[in-house]
Structure 1
């Protein structure tokens, strides 16, 4: 007697026999590089062929120190370290001197290119009010701290100073951008970015500018 909803020993709920369908060829031959189907173990990857032997981890701190010393190489004496330090300092000074001289290979990325060099020449060939901002601001702050009675007049003076510097910076940025567009019509420099570069250089004291100015004040930049 068959009960509804139960499986018989020799068939399923619909009375079918217990014979199962043969496994398809796709399940029998699974490539090793693909993920194995459900019910089969995942094939292991042979990573030993790609990596070399790994040294065992040190068991003690003394062994770790010995391994670090071996990897660091021979220990230098005091005189050798002094000579190496002097050579490294000389190399740094040489690179800085070449950068200050304006050699293209030693310039920072922001200073490289003929467009940036031309913009620097324009800034260095004129007297900029932006260069007086830091000295004037420090002077006003010193006066305010030394004579507290003039604090009422320092704040308006600072605002006037900032307004003058902003006007000078905008005028300089437009002048540099127009001159660059006229000399290099195919340049890809943005006008705003180039204007900020020129204003930033003009705000520095002349002796502190890097690279060093290659034109004098009043020179005509072609």
Structure 2
């Protein structure tokens, strides 16, 4: 018995079903995050970046482009969170140039283990601003407040010089071959001390009262 029904053609093993969108060019594929070229090639200019973004968008469907942007946004947020966690923990890979090095790590511990008058620089500045606004209509009170403020700021300065020198001596004792200048160490210590304990980055690894010796 003959049948008029045609048998389906067998597909070649090399046959690849259509993806529903154009295959990205080699340039677009190399630009994808995580590839060797994307990590180590020279940074693209703003115009080149815009052109690449337009080409990539044209190669995708609206839903694929939406998903791509969401993935990029999520990845960027995760990188930022990872960088912040690394910075807070003192990981050298994420630290700013000013915070890198064993000397700077030691200075942070040296400052974080002690209480200083300079710990109150920021709260004092905010309080002084508020008080001066309130007393601006009262010349006598304003003069008294200004005098007190000058005395307190002089105290901040004197203590800052003293703690900067103390930190520099401690660094020299612990790292005899250091190339860090005493002035740089002193300013770093002073800047650290003027920040409230909880606001410091990298986060303190020692508690106030812990012994940190050279």
Same fold by TM (over 0.5)? Answer: yes
Q: Separation in 1 of the partners of 2:200 and 2:143?
A: 35
Q: Is the 8 A contact 2:57 2:65 kept in 1?
A: no
Max Rg structure: 1
The answer to whether 1:109 aligns with 2:97 is yes
- Give 2:154's match in structure 1, choosing from 146, 163, 173: 163
189 and 72 in structure 1: CA distance in 2 versus 1, 3 angstrom threshold? farther
Give SS of 1:167's match: helix
1:78 is displaced (CA, Å) by 2.1
Q: Separation in 2 of the partners of 1:202 and 1:153?
A: 27
The answer to whether 1:202 aligns with 2:193 is yes
The answer to whether 1:69 aligns with 2:57 is no
70 and 168 in structure 1: CA distance in 2 versus 1, 3 angstrom threshold? same
Q: Please give the per-residue CA displacement for 1:76-97, whole angstroms capped at 9, x wherever unaligned.
A: 5223312220121011101110
1:169 is displaced (CA, Å) by 0.3
The answer to whether 1:145 aligns with 2:133 is yes
Q: Separation in 1 of the partners of 2:82 and 2:58?
A: 28
Q: Please give the per-residue CA displacement for 1:133-159, whole angstroms capped at 9, x wherever unaligned.
A: 121121122112123322111211221
Q: Separation in 1 of the partners of 2:183 and 2:58?
A: 52
Give SS of 2:93's match: helix
78 and 71 in structure 1: CA distance in 2 versus 1, 3 angstrom threshold? closer
202 and 68 in structure 1: CA distance in 2 versus 1, 3 angstrom threshold? closer
Q: Separation in 2 of the partners of 1:185 and 1:215?
A: 23
- Give 2:73's match in structure 1, choosing from 66, 70, 85: 85
- Normalised by the size of structure 2, how large is the TM-score? 0.68
1:68 is displaced (CA, Å) by 7.6
Q: Is the 8 A contact 1:122 1:176 kept in 2?
A: yes
Q: Separation in 1 of the partners of 2:104 and 2:57?
A: 43
- Give 1:182's match in structure 2, choosing from 164, 167, 173: 173
The answer to whether 1:154 aligns with 2:142 is no
Q: Separation in 2 of the partners of 1:107 and 1:120?
A: 13
Q: Separation in 2 of the partners of 1:173 and 1:129?
A: 13
Alignment correspondent of 2:25: none
The runs of 5 or more residues in structure 2 that have no matched partner are 1-49
Q: Please give the per-residue CA displacement for 1:33-54, whole angstroms capped at 9, x wherever unaligned.
A: xxxxxxxxxxxxxxxxxxxxxx
The runs of 5 or more residues in structure 1 that have no matched partner are 1-64
Q: Larger helix proportion, structure 1 or 2?
A: 2
Of residues 146-155 and 169-178 in structure 1, the stretch that sits farther from structure 2 once superposed is 146-155
Q: Separation in 2 of the partners of 1:181 and 1:68?
A: 52
Q: Is the 8 A contact 2:108 2:189 kept in 1?
A: yes
